[in-house]
C-alpha cells in the first residue's frame, strides 16, 4: 500500500462476543459466555423520575417469545466503544442477545399512530430480519411505564430511550473491560479514499415530525443516546456520516 | 411507532443495514457515505431541506445514489422531490420505500425513477408486525442491481 493510500485509510474494528446465556445478577458482567444483567431496584436518573413510573427487566430465552407486551418501541443492539470515537478505533458488540424496549402509559395503554405492535411478541415481531432479533437470541425485555398524567409526548418518548440507555450503559461499561483477544468474530472495515470502484451514496429519509417520528445522530456509544443530537433539533437538515460511522451505530431510532 | 410497526426501522436495522452491508462487500461499487435527513411536516421545509441535500449531493458527484425511506404518505413528497432533483443533476438513482396497496405515492414519480417496493405482506398492507415490510437483503440486492443496470 502506498504511503498516500495508507494515510487516507480509516479503520474500524468490530469485535463480536457471543453470549451463550443471559442471567440475572446484582451487577452487570460478562463472564465465560454468560451475560449477567441487573433486574432489582433499578433506579431512574433524576430528570426521568417525573416522567417514568417504573423500569422492569425480563429475560426471554430463545424461542420463548409468547409474552404479551405493549407497543415495541425499539430493538437495540448492545455495543460499546473501547478505543476511539464512533466510526473508528475498536468496538465490542454482543451476539446471541437483543434488547427489546417497550413503553405504555400509566394505564398500560400503548402509544400508537396508524398501528401498534401491542400483543404477543411472537405474533407481533418477525425474527431474523435486519431490524429484529435472531430467533436464537436471548431477549432482554425492558418494560417502561409513563407516570400518571404523562402523555406520549416527545419528552415521554425521549425519557424512555434515555432510561433504557442508562440501563444498557452498565452492561457496556463491563463490555469495555473484557479480553480483547477472546472475541468470537472480528470484522475490520477500512475506508480508502480511492480504490477505483464506483462511488455510491446512500441517502436515508427518516421521519422528523415529532415524538415518535425522530432519530438521534452520533451518540457517544454505538446505538446509544448520550451525546447524540435529535434530527428535529437539527432542523431535519442532512447529516453526512462515513460508512464506518453508520455501521458503528450512529443512529438511534425513535420512530 | 413511526408510521407503522411493519415498516419501522429499528436501531438494530440501522446497525445491520442490508444496504450498507451489501455495498461494503461489492466488487464494483463502494459506499462513499451515508446522508441521513429528516422528513419535515410542512411543504416549505420539505422543499428547503431537499434543495440543500440536492446541492450537497451535486458537489459530492457520486456515480450513483440509493435513496431509502422509512415512512409513507406525505413523506413521498420529499422522496419524489429528491429523486427528481437527482435526475435533473444526471445522477443515477434508485429508490426504496413501502408502497404495497396502501401507500401509493401522494405525488407523482415525475422523474420516472426506479423504486423498489419493500412491501412483503400478502395484502400489501401495514400489518402491525415489526420487521415485515421494511428493507431486507433481497430488496437491497434488487436496488443495487438496478443501479448497476442503469449506470451502464
B64 touches chain A (CB under 8 A): yes
Asked if the structure places residue A251 within a domain, the reply is no
Q: Which domain holds residue A153?
A: 3-195
Q: In the A/B pair of chains, how many CB contacts fall below 8 A? A: 283
d(CA A103, CA A177): 31
pLDDT greater than 90 at residue B105: no
Distance from CA of A89 to the nearest CA of B (A): 17
Question: CB of B139 within 8 A of CB of A130?
Answer: no
Q: Which residues of A touch B4 (CB under 8 A)?
A: 113-115
Q: Which domain holds residue B37?
A: 11-151
Contact B39 A236 (CB under 8 A): yes
Contact A130 B16 (CB under 8 A): yes
Residue A109 per-residue DSSP state: P
Contact B130 A237 (CB under 8 A): no
Residue A140 DSSP SS3 = strand
Considering only the beta carbons, identify the residue of A76, A215, A246 that sits closest to B34: A246
pLDDT-derived band at B4, boundaries 50, 70, 90: confident
Considering only the beta carbons, identify the residue of B56, B71, B136 that sits closest to A238: B56
Q: Which residues of B touch A199 (CB under 8 A)?
A: 29-30, 32, 61-64
- Phi, psi dihedral angles at B146 (to 5 degrees): -65, -40
Nearest residue of A to residue B29, measured between CA atoms: A198
pLDDT of residue A168: 97
Could you tell me how many residues make up chain B? 152
Asked if the structure places residue B71 within a domain, the reply is yes
Distance from CA of B52 to the nearest CA of A (A): 8
Lowest mean pLDDT across A167-176, B8-17, B47-56, B112-121: B112-121
d(CA A214, CA B150): 33
Give the percent of chain B with pLDDT over 90.
78
Q: Which CATH number does the domain housing residue B24 bear?
A: 3.40.50
Contact A127 B131 (CB under 8 A): yes
Asked if the structure places residue B135 within a domain, the reply is yes
Which residue, among B75, B125, B76, has the nearest Cα to B100 in the 3D structure?
Answer: B125
Provide the number of structural domains found in chain A. 1
Contact B33 A201 (CB under 8 A): yes
Residue A147 DSSP SS3 = coil
Q: What is the ipTM of this complex?
A: 0.97
Asked if the structure places residue A227 within a domain, the reply is no
Q: Which residue has the cell 416527545?
A: A154
Q: Which residues of B touch A245 (CB under 8 A)?
A: 34
B window 13-52, beta carbon within 8 A of A: 13-21, 23-24, 26-41, 45, 49, 52
Asked if the structure places residue B63 within a domain, the reply is yes
pLDDT of residue B1: 39
pLDDT of residue A4: 52
Asked if the structure places residue A63 within a domain, the reply is yes
Q: Which residues of A touch B102 (CB under 8 A)?
A: none
Asked if the structure places residue A208 within a domain, the reply is no
Nearest residue of A to residue B62, measured between CA atoms: A199
Nearest residue of B to residue A217, measured between CA atoms: B36
Three-class HEC string of B49-94: HHHHHHHHHHHHCCCEEEEEECCCCCHHHHHHHHHHHHHHCCCCEE
Considering only the beta carbons, identify the residue of A124, A208, A247 that sits closest to B40: A208
Asked if the structure places residue A222 within a domain, the reply is no
Per-residue confidence of chain A (255 residues) as pLDDT tens digits? 454 544 456 899 999 999 999 999 999 999 999 999 999 889 899 999 999 998 999 999 999 999 999 889 999 999 999 999 999 999 999 999 999 999 999 988 887 655 678 889 999 999 999 999 999 999 999 999 999 999 888 999 999 999 999 999 999 999 999 999 999 999 999 987 667 899 999 999 999 988 788 999 999 999 999 999 999 999 999 999 999 999 999 999 998
Distance from CA of A29 to the nearest CA of B (A): 22
B54 touches chain A (CB under 8 A): no
Pairing of β B114-117 and β B93-97 = parallel
Mean pLDDT score, B115-140: 93
Asked if the structure places residue B76 within a domain, the reply is yes
Provide the number of structural domains found in chain B. 1
Asked if the structure places residue B1 within a domain, the reply is no
How confident is the model over B25-35, as pLDDT tens digits? 999 999 999 99
pLDDT of residue A7: 43
Partnered with residue B140 across adjacent β-strands are: none
Amino acid at each position: 500500500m502506498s504511503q498516500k493510500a495508507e494515510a487516507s485509510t480509516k479503520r474500524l474494528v468490530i469485535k463480536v462476543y457471543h453470549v451463550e446465556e443471559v442471567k440475572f445478577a446484582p451487577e452487570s458482567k460478562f463472564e465465560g459466555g454468560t451475560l449477567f444483567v441487573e433486574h432489582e431496584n433499578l433506579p431512574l436518573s433524576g430528570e426521568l423520575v417525573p416522567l417514568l413510573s417504573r423500569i422492569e427487566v425480563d429475560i426471554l430465552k430463545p424461542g420463548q417469545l409468547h409474552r404479551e407486551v405493549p407497543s415495541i418501541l425499539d430493538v437495540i443492539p448492545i455495543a460499546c466503544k473501547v478505543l476511539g470515537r464512533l466510526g473508528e478505533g475498536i468496538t465490542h458488540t454482543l451476539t446471541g442477545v437483543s434488547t427489546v424496549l417497550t413503553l405504555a402509559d400509566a394505564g398500560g395503554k400503548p402509544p400508537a399512530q396508524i398501528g401498534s405492535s401491542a400483543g404477543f411478541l411472537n405474533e407481533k415481531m418477525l425474527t431474523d430480519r435486519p431490524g429484529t432479533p435472531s430467533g436464537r437470541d436471548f431477549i432482554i425485555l425492558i418494560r417502561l411505564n409513563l407516570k400518571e398524567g404523562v402523555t406520549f409526548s416527545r419528552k415521554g418518548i425521549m425519557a424512555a430511550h434515555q432510561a433504557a440507555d442508562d440501563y444498557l450503559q452498565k452492561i457496556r461499561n463491563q463490555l469495555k473491560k473484557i479480553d480483547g483477544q477472546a472475541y468470537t468474530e472480528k470484522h475490520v472495515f477500512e475506508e480508502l479514499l480511492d480504490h477505483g470502484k464506483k462511488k455510491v451514496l446512500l441517502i436515508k429519509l427518516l421521519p422528523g415530525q415529532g415524538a415518535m417520528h425522530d432519530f438521534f445522530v452520533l451518540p457517544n456509544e454505538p446505538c446509544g443516546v448520550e451525546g447524540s443530537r435529535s434530527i428535529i433539533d437539527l432542523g431535519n437538515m442532512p447529516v453526512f456520516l462515513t460508512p464506518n460511522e453508520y455501521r458503528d451505530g450512529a443512529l438511534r431510532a425513535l420512530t | 411507532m413511526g408510521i407503522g410497526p411493519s415498516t419501522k426501522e429499528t436501531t438494530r436495522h440501522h446497525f445491520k443495514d442490508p444496504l450498507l452491508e451489501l455495498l461494503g462487500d461489492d466488487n464494483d461499487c463502494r459506499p462513499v457515505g451515508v446522508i441521513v435527513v429528516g422528513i419535515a411536516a410542512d411543504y416549505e421545509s420539505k422543499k428547503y431541506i431537499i434543495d440543500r441535500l440536492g446541492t450537497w449531493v451535486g458537489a459530492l458527484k457520486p456515480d450513483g445514489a440509493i435513496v431509502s425511506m422509512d415512512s409513507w404518505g406525505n413523506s413521498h413528497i420529499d422522496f419524489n422531490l429528491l429523486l427528481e432533483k437527482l435526475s435533473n443533476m444526471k445522477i443515477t438513482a434508485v429508490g426504496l420505500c413501502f408502497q404495497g396497496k396502501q401507500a401509493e405515492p401522494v405525488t407523482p414519480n415525475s422523474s420516472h425513477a426506479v423504486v423498489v417496493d419493500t412491501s412483503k405482506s400478502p395484502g400489501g398492507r401495514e400489518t402491525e408486525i415489526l420487521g415485515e415490510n421494511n428493507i431486507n437483503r433481497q430488496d437491497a440486492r434488487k436496488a443495487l442491481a438496478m443501479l448497476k443496470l442503469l449506470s451502464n
